[in-house]
Structure 1
């Protein structure tokens, strides 16, 4: 699999003698795109456990089997209640924590795109954000939570999303109240989250709500403390960058601690964070992100704040309407590297060998040809301006890759159909396979023309 760094060795530069205590290590499954079949999840859950995972953060979106008035929300391929119960049995066998994630404020596209719920949008034209003023909005959220909790009994946490609440405060009702000085954007956010979290605690006293932390970051310490959210939710602090700023993160954690939060979570990324249409997962990028989180955890003031765990996110779409990014099977080598890094506090040759044995692969690297970009670019090909000796450096590889692609497409479709539903297979092949095959065909054609031109001269 690709680490995007050519010949750079996989062994990490940063090493720790003893891994810090991270709490639960959760693998995030984003089902709003390319949801795997239950049969595939049954195969890979034991692999996750073997690699060091302690549980699953399960973001259903439209794959949950909603019923009654909410039935319109579910995908035609939605899992059945018995499917989910089977997964819960498997999770228990593996001693996994299962934490369901349901969006309750922002990223509500899968709900608000439907005509039946479009009137609950904060801004009429955009299906992103729920209108926090309408009583029906809260009833909708309660119904979603009730149905999810009915299947997920005996859980300790539920994640209620609440990230990237775009356009909040821009709806007509919100603007009127803001202009009258009765509220502001931050108060709108905290009030709604409090209402959702309070409902969960009132109806399921043993379950604690988790929220993404990005909307909290710009709220002043006084206002956040005044909201009393620290008594209701646990923030999950997410940063996916390879160059995560450890000192800045520690200051953010200190801010939360000063606001009264005593329990926090981290969120890294093993895939789905380097481009909305990314096809291959950069292992080295995500490894760097996890090493930085280890540095944060190592310096965390343990006497004043408790780290509940870290969620390794694997985004499948940036939002409900965006294209697919790296598929889960493509991201599993990165996940394996990241989990082993968190387990041992280092990623050395020993951990690399373990990952390769677990996945049954010989290498975690791939080298990308550089001659094509440097001497056979679109500019060169269009003008037939080609150095005859250069083509020899890549002709054999290009023809080999083209032959492999032609032979592999039917096999790829068959393999994908074992894991995914037909709509995912068609989307991926149309979006990523066919364009790449066309580019390869053009490359071979231009190479043949260039060689013919050279022979003539």
Structure 2
């Protein structure tokens, strides 16, 4: 064993003294970096920081204020988040999974306005009131009436919220192609994922879908035509032959241009939007063929979106298209069937988008809108992921990050938003619930459902622990105790979800999210 003598200690001290100068230099570099990143001169950061309310007395009063009963036409003083620039914040409403009753939308839209949203991207799918030969597309379980869509559009207009309808026209067509009446339009006979763009009736069906949606959105300036993830494009014999004579790029261009040119001819004031993933590798000349009619919505939902989308790609799009529409995620990208919203993941996604926009776009004028997507299902046939009420805290924080182009959520914003939503402390920013969190006394639309999801998360954790008990008698005793808690949660969940969702959604959620736990516990007690 080595022993240090006084002589060796003095030698070590002299050696350390030679490097003491490093520490003040490192501190100077760190402080300089913080100063430069905080006081950036980038165009997206030149506006003064508004925060939520600068007056301390007003802020304290607002911190103690709950959401009042929502009314249309919210005054400016009632808005919690003010955008620092002209970039509208668009919230995605994915109705192909867990569509709420219309009464909830009446409450939800004024709430979105208070959070600083500027519009909605509405993905109706089978909840839209299609008619004629398209009536079969309407879900037999639940769909909205024409009167309800009209009221939705009018309510949004009264709140100065734009509505952008989304009509799938290439991939994600299961809700159409699953029906025998339209199975002949499939790219592959046994796959209802995408249409074949060369079938005789494909374009007429798609035009009819667009016609009916546009008839109920006569004043919209944009319509989203989907176009993403067409992974099986070019698999049928007709498309293979087309590609052999031209290219895959030409096949995709042929189809989407067909739709966009039709929209431009019928509604000259309307511009098409489309997801960008299928065109990321295109050269500028090919991109220019789309630029006359539409703009790309550039989506990326991972924590570090720069790994998926580069500043160079944004610059290329901005050099061709009049507007680029970044698309982040506030729910629905953390897992295909999860129920608890991983808030930290979504906050990180927005931080990374802010970095990417700063390096990839030179002016906010090149952004058509910043879209916060919230997926309810990954695909038409998939299970539900997070319910909208469970994602409202995530949405509020993500809107705050997006509105300020920040890399760090301001503490005062976090505190005020948390108080306004009824949280006794700051909204927890973590990917899993913690036993110290509190879901009581919340006051936002659907907060009762948030409390149910909170309780469900802990029930699932306890169920996992019970399943690991080796001793049969001890496991049976623990299962009996937990089964009583599960029954109570099932009863409360049915009541709370029933306030917001139609019976079909309540049944689906209970059967896929809780019933298996109760069945497993009952087996353990036998």
Question: TM-score band, normalised by the shorter chain?
Answer: 0.7 to 0.9
Could you tell me whether the CA contact under 8 Å between 2:87 and 2:364 is conserved in 1? no
- Corresponding residue for residue 292 of structure 1: 352
Asked if residue 242 in structure 1 is aligned to residue 303 in structure 2, the reply is yes
Distance 1:304 1:414 in 2: 45
- Corresponding residue for residue 63 of structure 1: 127
**Distance change (3 Å), C-alpha of 1:285 and 1:120:** same
- Please identify, of 342-351 and 89-98, the stretch whose mean Cα deviation from structure 2 is larger: 342-351
Could you tell me whether the CA contact under 8 Å between 2:312 and 2:360 is conserved in 1? no
| Aligned residue among 479, 502, 524 for 1:421 | 502
Cα offset, 1:278, TM superposition: 0.8
**Distance change (3 Å), C-alpha of 1:380 and 1:159:** closer
| Aligned residue among 272, 281, 297 for 1:209 | 272
Post-superposition Cα deviations, 1:112-135, rounded to whole Å, max 9, x if no partner, equal: 111111001111111111110123
Could you tell me whether the CA contact under 8 Å between 1:157 and 1:210 is conserved in 2? yes
Cα offset, 1:183, TM superposition: 2.3
- Corresponding residue for residue 198 of structure 2: 133
Distance 2:361 2:395 in 1: 28
- Corresponding residue for residue 469 of structure 2: 381
- Corresponding residue for residue 113 of structure 1: 178
Q: Which secondary structure state, in structure 2, belongs to the residue aligned with residue 148 of structure 1?
A: helix
- Corresponding residue for residue 262 of structure 2: 199
Q: Which has the larger radius of gyration?
A: 2
Cα offset, 1:297, TM superposition: 2.5
Cα offset, 1:296, TM superposition: 2.1
Q: Pairwise CA RMSD of aligned residues?
A: 3.1
- Corresponding residue for residue 367 of structure 1: 434
Cα offset, 1:93, TM superposition: 1.6
Cα offset, 1:404, TM superposition: 4.7
Distance 2:219 2:358 in 1: 31
Asked if residue 434 in structure 1 is aligned to residue 518 in structure 2, the reply is no
Could you tell me whether the CA contact under 8 Å between 2:318 and 2:366 is conserved in 1? no
Post-superposition Cα deviations, 1:400-440, rounded to whole Å, max 9, x if no partner, equal: 97655433321210111111111111111010012234556
**Distance change (3 Å), C-alpha of 1:442 and 1:377:** farther
Distance 2:239 2:309 in 1: 33
Cα offset, 1:35, TM superposition: 0.5
Post-superposition Cα deviations, 1:188-233, rounded to whole Å, max 9, x if no partner, equal: 11111011000001100001000000001123344334xx111111
Distance 1:373 1:421 in 2: 28
Q: Which secondary structure state, in structure 1, belongs to the residue aligned with residue 514 of structure 2?
A: helix
Which of structures 1 and 2 has the larger relative contact order (alpha carbons within 8 angstroms, sep 6+)? 1
Q: Which secondary structure state, in structure 2, belongs to the residue aligned with residue 201 of structure 1?
A: helix
Equivalent residues in 2 for 1:15-54 (5 A)? 18=45, 21=85, 23-54=87-118
Asked if residue 149 in structure 1 is aligned to residue 211 in structure 2, the reply is no
Cα offset, 1:280, TM superposition: 0.6
- Corresponding residue for residue 8 of structure 1: none
- Corresponding residue for residue 9 of structure 1: none
| Aligned residue among 407, 411, 424 for 1:349 | 411
- Please identify, of 248-257 and 426-435, the stretch whose mean Cα deviation from structure 2 is larger: 248-257
Could you tell me whether the CA contact under 8 Å between 2:318 and 2:361 is conserved in 1? no
**Distance change (3 Å), C-alpha of 1:120 and 1:351:** same
- Please identify, of 181-190 and 52-61, the stretch whose mean Cα deviation from structure 2 is larger: 181-190
Distance 2:281 2:390 in 1: 35
Post-superposition Cα deviations, 1:347-393, rounded to whole Å, max 9, x if no partner, equal: 232122222223222243331699x999x968952368x9xxxx9xx
- Name the TM-score, length of structure 1 as normaliser: 0.84
The unaligned stretches of length 5 or more in structure 1 are 1-12, 447-457
Distance 1:152 1:142 in 2: 15
Asked if residue 323 in structure 1 is aligned to residue 379 in structure 2, the reply is no
**Distance change (3 Å), C-alpha of 1:378 and 1:357:** closer
Distance 2:308 2:489 in 1: 47
- Corresponding residue for residue 442 of structure 2: none
Cα offset, 1:441, TM superposition: 6.5
Distance 2:498 2:351 in 1: 35
Asked if residue 102 in structure 1 is aligned to residue 167 in structure 2, the reply is yes
The unaligned stretches of length 5 or more in structure 2 are 1-33, 40-44, 50-83, 437-457
Q: Which secondary structure state, in structure 2, belongs to the residue aligned with residue 245 of structure 1?
A: helix
Could you tell me whether the CA contact under 8 Å between 1:121 and 1:130 is conserved in 2? yes
Cα offset, 1:16, TM superposition: 5.5
Q: Which secondary structure state, in structure 2, belongs to the residue aligned with residue 33 of structure 1?
A: coil
- Corresponding residue for residue 311 of structure 1: 371
| Aligned residue among 294, 307, 317 for 1:233 | 294
Distance 2:239 2:482 in 1: 56
**Distance change (3 Å), C-alpha of 1:246 and 1:350:** farther
Q: Which secondary structure state, in structure 1, belongs to the residue aligned with residue 129 of structure 2?
A: coil
Distance 1:326 1:22 in 2: 30
**Distance change (3 Å), C-alpha of 1:325 and 1:22:** farther
| Aligned residue among 235, 239, 242 for 1:177 | 242
Post-superposition Cα deviations, 1:122-156, rounded to whole Å, max 9, x if no partner, equal: 11111111110123111111101111111101111
- Corresponding residue for residue 487 of structure 2: 406
